[in-house]
Chains A and B, each alone.
Chain A
Amino acid sequence: MSANLLEVKNITMQFGGLKAVDSLSFSIPKGQLAGLIGPNGAGKTTVFNILTGVYQPTKGEILLNNENLVGKKTYQISDLGMTRTFQNIRLFKNLTVLENVLIATHQHISYGHLDSILLTNKYKKQETEMHNKAIELLKIFHLESKAHEKASSLPYGEQRKLEIVRAMATDPCLILLDEPAAGMNHSETHHLMETIAKIRQDFKLTILLIEHDMKLVMGICENITVLDHGVKIDEGPAKKIQISEKVIQAYLGVEA
């Protein structure tokens, strides 16, 4: 029995002849803010896809709260408490900001079709609850004034924030953030760092993020796993990774 929230044991992902991920193992204790870094093509998003059930690993185990996730569908994994954001933003573009967040609350709804058709009290009560919950979440990210605007009309930075709000609405214990700072400038990134630290604290979340922005990663991640060509080449706290020979070589190439 492990005390870790997430235990990844020896996962391998084979696409035909290509091993995208090779015997990867790492673990994340509850409440940690962890990072997953590596040069482009290292397999980081693939790892996220494996963790969330988009791909089924060829080998290995994934334990969330000691429950094996391999073989489970993405929505089931979300129900169990692990959710994510996407490298290329995947908002529900034609829906409003509020609707985007509300959709993520669906798994907490217990009313059925009949309730919505007959407009029962159960329906109205839960709808109000979810509405309020969604608005509260939007307030934290200062998006509540745009609740009824189309998600696609938001500026880029706010779209990224919205994705995080949406993920949080599922009431997760573990959030995977895939390059949340992509396309952001310094002040936006700094603001994001604060927000991530804040939600980790206020909502008692565990967070694993993929990032290329080293300032962000070294700034807030407590433990960092480094991937290259699908293989873990190092892991540890920021200070260790910053001076790790292997990591520097992987990013910059070996000196001739």
Chain B
Amino acid sequence: MQDFIQHLINGISLGSIYALIALGYTMVYGILQMINFAHADVYMIGAFTAYYTAKWMGLENSPGLSTLFILLFSAMFVCSLLGLAIERFAYRPLRNSPKLNVLITAIGVSLFLEFTGQVVFGADPKVFPEVMKDFVISSFGGIDLKSSDVTVLGVSLVAMVLLNFIVQKTKMGRAMRAVSTNAPVASMLGVNTNRIISFTFIVGSSLAAIGSILVGMKYPKIDPLMGMMIGMKAFVAAVLGGIGNIQGAVLGALIMGLSEEMVVAYISSTYRDALAFGILIVILIIKPTGLFGKYAVEKV
């Protein structure tokens, strides 16, 4: 039983990280109806930004709250810029092109980031600096509540609450929802769609950056291809929840994190990655719109 609760905690921890990344996918899909293949690689850049920031500021061996904040902000800053640049230069020119073209371009950007990363950072993995000291906060009946888990959960929660606030309660958020529902009409009503789209990319990339720091805390090995697998899983989470739907992305991510943890714990770890694909195929065949998605009827 204790093992089960431990796995539960791990699963939720994992799921929250997936959520941070999944939100980026779902928001961009909601607003542009495109799959931002490069999102996971922006996440990767976040991790490396933090790595190099720590290196250059000599923070490698000083874990603590200030280190956490410095790394968070540097990663978020760089990732936001990167996200903006990608949208502006790779996606915006194709705003009116067939969806397939955008998808291919997104794949191109993703590959570009991965391989440039390999050239610039070197293909072998690096060790992420220790951001916060990992200690056991409390132990009850054989279950350890680690500080890293608490940090992960805490930071994710804060990020998601902030996001929810932005989307539901601010003018920007309202504009985002408007553009998501009907871009041409929103534009006619005075919304600067380009600015909203840029804002969406900034938010999504920032969340990915946060995710990368949290991942770095839990799994300190980073390499230029680290985005691939987690990107796939986060994307499946977004689809599971209903792509374009924010609450769905969070729920989907939690399900993904929990099921992955349980499969590894109770069935076999070989299928850890294949599970994501399996879930994806099942959803797309049974209910492509996901848990919360709406079925869009094509106008004839």
Contact = CB atoms under 8 A, between A and B. Distances in A.
In the complex, A touching B (Cβ < 8 A) = yes
B24 to A, nearest CB: 30
Nearest to A15: B297
Contacts of B300: 45, 49, 54, 86
Interface of B: 297, 300
B184 to A, nearest CB: 16
A80 to B, nearest CB: 19
Contacts of A49: 300
Contacts of A54: 300
5 contacts: A15-B297, A45-B300, A49-B300, A54-B300, A86-B300
B250 to A, nearest CB: 26
Interface residues of A, number: 5
A245 to B, nearest CB: 33
A45 B300 CA distance: 8
Contacts of B297: 15
Nearest to A46: B300
Q: Which 5 A-B pairs have the closest CB atoms?
A: A54-B300, A49-B300, A45-B300, A86-B300, A15-B297
Interface in A50-104: 54, 86
Contacts of A15: 297
A26 B37 CA distance: 51
A235 to B, nearest CB: 24
A178 to B, nearest CB: 9
A54 B297 CA distance: 11
A210 B300 CA distance: 14
A15 to B, nearest CB: 7
A137 to B, nearest CB: 24
B96 to A, nearest CB: 15
Contacts of A86: 300
A27 to B, nearest CB: 24
B171 to A, nearest CB: 30
A15 B297 CA distance: 10
A84 to B, nearest CB: 10
A49 B298 CA distance: 11
A15 B294 CA distance: 13
Nearest to B294: A16
Contacts of A45: 300
A231 B30 CA distance: 35
A191 B135 CA distance: 85
Nearest to A48: B300
A15 B299 CA distance: 13
Interface in A84-128: 86
B297 to A, nearest CB: 7
A162 B35 CA distance: 36
A45 B297 CA distance: 14
Nearest to B298: A54
Nearest to A178: B300
A87 to B, nearest CB: 8
A170 B297 CA distance: 27
A54 B299 CA distance: 10
Interface in A14-56: 15, 45, 49, 54
A15 B296 CA distance: 12
Nearest to A54: B300
B293 to A, nearest CB: 15
A120 B208 CA distance: 59
Nearest to A52: B300
A45 B299 CA distance: 10
Nearest to A49: B300
A54 B300 CA distance: 8
A86 B300 CA distance: 8
A97 B172 CA distance: 48
